[in-house]
Amino acid sequence: MPAQRIDELRKTYEGALLENVLPFWIRHSPDHEHGGFFSSLDRDGRVLDPDKAMWVQGRFSWLLATLCLEMGAEENWRRLALHGITFLREHGFDQDGRMWFHVTQDGRPLRKRRYVFTECFAAMAFAAWARLAGDADAERTANTLLDLVVHHLRAPVPAKTEATRPMKSLGAPMILLNLAQVFRQTIEHADADALADAAIAEIRDHFVKPELGVVMENVAPDGRVVDATFDGRLLNPGHAIEAAWFILEEARVRGGDAGLIALGTSMLDMTWKRGWDPVEGGLLYFCALDGGPVAEYWHDMKFWWPHCEAIIATLFAYELTGRDAYLDLHRQVHDWTFKHFPDPVHGEWYGYLHRDGRISVPLKGNLWKGPFHIPRMLLLCRQACLRMTGRTGSG
């Protein structure tokens, strides 16, 4: 890729992050009365629902602390990171050490879920804040949460269905890999490499199926494909591509590990063939192993986050391999994404599009969509561009 093109991309990602996406959330998301962050926002930033998603409290706090670490400790970012950390400390935890998924505006609990993704995102936030502020209590909380997550993922609580047909999902090892990477980068956790190795091995040995040309979303506990059911045939392109770039990032951190580069790029290649919409462009949300129907009615919609993960993955793949094929894929997904998702009037991005790219719903956030996938993509791609031009970027 010519250096001029790389620098143009850097300017695009940096400008979108600092002048569009981040200002939208900093302006509309903080609750200055009760603490924490609103996430259910309309197109113009108006609060649609004052209840608070604990995923968003962790994710936005992590983002703000990470921006300070990577781009300089801008005082407002630091203040808002602490704003989120404080809400997590005061309202995030049940008496059993688990965390709430959903609370009222003033922090009273509404719902706690069986899975531990709230704890994962909070652990990332506390680890990043510990690194930024030298906060020993935050580091202890981060480590406690990591231990809880690892225990839960290795010995999960009973599922809502019976044990007649046990299954496991790609989300567990991929989030553990990402956690290990965050903990290595922030608090230099002693077990980070071992956790990353175990997560990669599970993804490679149980979910990646080169003989079928797919990365499965759900498999039996021993990695067998259960192809008689909707769940067993399900492919989730966004998850598979996100896992691919986690592995490519691990390859880069480990000095360009050839085996990990091969694994990550093969996951990207296989998933692209299945997930890219040949008719309308963009990534399909779900598809099936056999090419047949899937149960979810939103399977052909275009969501914001898979496109963010694909922009990262294709750029990382190009950075690590130098292959023009990945540059072409990156241009393909970058152009489709920036044509359809950004809101030119109020800033930030729409989250949910119909298959042909028309807006399905104009809101900017809810319990799941908040300031995470888009700004993370913009930050990581900015860093990759800086590395490729020999300037700076995350090590």
Q: Does some domain include residue 21?
A: no
Whole-number pLDDT of residue 156: 63
Q: Does some domain include residue 216?
A: yes
Higher-confidence position of 234 and 160: 234
Mean pLDDT of 205-215: 99
227-234: long-range contacts, CB 8 A cutoff, minimum separation 24: 227/289, 227/290, 229/165, 230/288, 230/294, 230/295, 231/167, 232/167, 232/289, 233/288, 233/289, 233/290, 233/292, 233/294, 234/286, 234/288, 234/289, 234/294
Q: Does some domain include residue 49?
A: no
Residue range 103-115, pLDDT digits in tens: 999 999 999 999 9
Whole-number pLDDT of residue 395: 47
Residue 256: Cβ-neighbour burial (10 angstroms; 0-12, 13-18, 19+): exposed
Residue range 61-95, pLDDT digits in tens: 999 999 999 999 799 999 999 999 999 999 999 99
Q: What CA–CA distance (Å, rounded) separates 247 from 178? A: 9
Residue range 117-173, pLDDT digits in tens: 999 999 999 999 999 999 999 999 999 999 999 999 987 666 555 678 899 999 999
Q: How far is CA 360 from CA 173, 214, 280, 289, 336, in A?
A: 32, 29, 15, 27, 16
In this predicted structure, the answer to whether residue 17 has a pLDDT above a threshold of 70 is yes
State the CB neighbour count (10 A cutoff) for residue 42.
Answer: 15
- Please state which of the ranges 1-5, 47-51, 61-65, 323-327 shows the lowest mean pLDDT: 1-5
Residue range 60-69, pLDDT digits in tens: 999 999 999 9
DSSP string, 251-317: HHHTTS-HHHHHHHHHHHHHHHHHHB-TTT-SB-S-EETTS---S-TTTT-EEHHHHHHHHHHHHHH
Q: Does some domain include residue 224?
A: yes
Q: Does some domain include residue 86?
A: no
Total domains in the fold of the chain: 1
User: Quick one: angle between helices 373-388 and 304-321, nearest 10?
Assistant: 20
Q: Does some domain include residue 157?
A: no
Tokens of 16: 């979108």
Q: Does some domain include residue 81?
A: no
Q: Does some domain include residue 221?
A: yes
Whole-number pLDDT of residue 3: 87
Confidence tier at 2 by pLDDT (50, 70, 90): confident
Q: Which residues contact 128 (CB under 8 A, 6 or more apart)?
A: 61, 62, 65, 66, 69, 81, 182, 186
* Contact between residue 307 and residue 337 where contact means Cβ atoms under 8 Å apart: yes
Cα torsion angle, 156, 55, 20, 382, sign? negative
Residue range 248-277, pLDDT digits in tens: 999 999 999 999 999 999 999 999 999 999
Domain CATH number, residue 231: 1.50.10.10
Percent share of the chain, pLDDT over 70? 97
Give the ranges where 74-208 is alpha helix by DSSP (H): 75-91, 117-133, 136-154, 171-186, 192-202
Tokens of 273: 């063939």
| Predicted TM-score (pTM) of this structure | 0.97
Whole-number pLDDT of residue 392: 58
- Quote the DSSP letter at residue 351: -
Residue range 23-46, pLDDT digits in tens: 999 999 999 999 999 999 999 999
Domain region containing 258? 171-364
